[in-house]
Amino acid sequence: MRITALAGGVGGARFLNGLLHHLEAHGEVPEVTVIANTGDDITLYGLRVSPDVDTLLYTLGGAVSESQGWGRADDSQRVQGELAAYGAVPQWFTLGDLDLGTHIVRSQWLGQGQSLSEVTGRLAERWGLPGRGVRLLPMTDTPVETHVVISDDDGQRAVHFQEWWVRLRASVPAERFVVAGLDRAAAAPGVLDALRTADVILLPPSNPVVSIGIILGVPGVRDALRGSAAPVVGVSPLIAGAPVRGHADACLAALGLPSTTAAVAGLYADFLDGWLVDPADAGVRLERARVEVHAEPLLMTDVAAASRIAGAALELAARLSGPRSAG
């Protein structure tokens, strides 16, 4: 079964790790293509950092800091201390010493002219992703960066998404998101094919606006989802109206939307077939009646929980592919 998933960082990675465990436990050899958000990418100290790609690499590679959800386990910050001693900025973005190895080698390979897809493929090999049946693709090879328009004492301005998310902790309202480079970005090699040829398409509980929403903005991606014969099943990142972690509520507010699972499903209404919600949202009514809603506890407390949730998503997809292929 060919599975294609769109993913941001922590929510996406935890779900996908659960998916791999689920498939492995059922004796299935995973064939999973992951299309990763690169809108979070940022250049720091001359190094190209891809936060969501790195979270996917470390989580699926078994090296993530479980307590943080991102970064390497047992990392230290000696280099960052040195940078601070030089007065180098910014200081608000944490870069671990082991993590810096990834950014250095990514920057070196990009500097040699390799594409982000090629570089990501090489990084994924080190973390054993192909061996687990995973192909990790950046959504595009074109440098793309999400910026957030805010108004503060300095007036109205756009800041990099990471500055809004990490330094400001989304405390200043986002007026809108502007994704620099997205209009002229092309889907990375394999991305559109993976959507067209999938048996199942999954939307993990990633941020609907700044993770999944950015991937959907890559030219061709949304059309590929709309035209897909495979069932598209999503997992709600909100439980009882609240994001489990992060500031998805502040992102939805920027679009003028309430923080509800129905609002998130509404963002996918033109291609969504199945929607997993937490039992706390079991009574939810979606605008589009065609979407099959299934309730399942959605807190990914550990790998076993994430694996159970992934299994429920596949079960829902299997139920949906029957009548669809017959019709």
Binding site for ligand GDP (CB under 6 A): 7-12, 52, 55, 205-207, 211, 235-237, 239, 243-246, 248, 298-300
Among 5, 7, 8, 71, binds Ca ion (CB under 5 A): 8
Minimum distance, C-beta of residue 8 to Ca ion, in the bound complex (Å): 4
Which single residue is written with the structure tokens 């077939």?
A: 273
State the pairing for strand pair 155-160/145-152.
antiparallel
Minimum distance, C-beta of residue 299 to ligand GDP, in the bound complex (Å): 5
CA-wise closest residue to 189 among 8, 35, 38, 5: 35
Minimum distance, C-beta of residue 316 to ligand GDP, in the bound complex (Å): 15
End-to-end CA distance of the chain: 21
Among 4, 5, 9, 18, binds Ca ion (CB under 5 A): 9
Interaction partner, residue 298 (Ca ion, ligand GDP, none; CB < 5-8 Å by kind): ligand GDP
The residue (of 26 and 245) whose beta carbon lies closer to Ca ion is 245
Amino acid at 298: L
Phi, psi of 262 (to 5 degrees): -65, -40
Distance CA(250)–CA(177), nearest Å, equals 12
Quick note: the x/- pattern for Ca ion over 203-222, rule CB under 5 A, is: --------------------
Q: Cβ-closest residue to ligand GDP? A: 11
The residue (of 206 and 321) whose beta carbon lies closer to ligand GDP is 206
Residues contacting residue 83 through CB under 8 Å, at least 6 positions apart: 45, 91
Interaction partner, residue 206 (ligand GDP, Ca ion, none; CB < 5-8 Å by kind): ligand GDP
Maximum Cα interatomic distance, the chain, rounded to a whole number of Å? 66
Phi, psi of 304 (to 5 degrees): -60, -40
The residue (of 210 and 262) whose beta carbon lies closer to Ca ion is 210
Minimum distance, C-beta of residue 300 to ligand GDP, in the bound complex (Å): 3
Query: Under rule CB under 5 A, which residues in 26-55 are in contact with Ca ion?
Result: 40, 52
The residue (of 146 and 259) whose beta carbon lies closer to Ca ion is 146
The residue (of 273 and 296) whose beta carbon lies closer to ligand GDP is 296
Minimum distance, C-beta of residue 106 to ligand GDP, in the bound complex (Å): 18
Q: Cβ-closest residue to Ca ion? A: 9
Distance CA(197)–CA(15), nearest Å, equals 22
Minimum distance, C-beta of residue 170 to ligand GDP, in the bound complex (Å): 11
Q: H helices of the chain, where?
A: 10-25, 51-60, 78-85, 97-111, 116-126, 161-162, 191-196, 212-216, 221-226, 248-254, 261-267, 303-326
- Radius of gyration over alpha carbons of the chain, in Å? 19
The residue (of 8 and 234) whose beta carbon lies closer to Ca ion is 8
Interaction partner, residue 10 (Ca ion, ligand GDP, none; CB < 5-8 Å by kind): ligand GDP
Minimum distance, C-beta of residue 33 to ligand GDP, in the bound complex (Å): 16
**From the CB of residue 76, how many other CB atoms can be counted at a distance below 10 Å?**
11
Q: Does the N-terminal peptide bond of residue 243 adopt cis geometry, omega within 30 degrees of 0?
A: no
